Structure 1
């Protein structure tokens, strides 16, 4: 498959595509109710399509001035190892370079070996100065 077969579009994924891609990529599942409530609050997102089907995605969330977070980087495993994750993150970072105000803080959580991808775009670990923490409502 060639790179031209994959189309990167600036769009927030549909709730169904979002939920399907998260599960396919090994991310935690999200309810339809949560996706419908959360996705409209996306600041910027991209979707990669092949033959009209969403096979990858990534989003930026935040307060639009001080803090931004890159989330939901997901590529269907059938399409991984083709540089698509790099295209997604590159598009998100490019958007932030164009629109974020000076002093903005951009963060993300790098699962597993994903830190290798994010480091290509200048992201650095926060440890030992700080550590990421979370609270998950079930």
Structure 2
């Protein structure tokens, strides 16, 4: 023999309990459905990050420059406004270069930029591969 206690299902609400006979809606509409995931995303947007292909391009340049002895360390920072890949000659110093992704500038000057240690923007554009060409060595004619 199984005993069960059944309770009447009552709808849950965040509104205060109403007195008997009091109407539920007093000039307020409560029929708005809010997607919690979208609400959280709008309230606290995720940080800007580098996508896998962007990181592949950056790390390809980084590996080449490490092989040449130019760079030794890097740091990645993701904020709500931009993503930064900073490269260092020595750990603990000011970064030699900062490769930045700022989506707010995508429609204007381009989302990608490379800045030097003193903050001067060396190259800016819409295509990361083009912006990273600032690190390509230009061959110079040397007279002997």
Q: TM-score of the superposition, structure 2-length normalised?
A: 0.30
More helix by share: 1
Which structure exhibits the higher relative contact order, with contacts defined as CA atoms closer than 8 Å and separated by 6 or more residues?
1
Q: TM-score of the superposition, structure 1-length normalised?
A: 0.31
* Larger-gyration structure (1/2): 2
More strand by share: 1
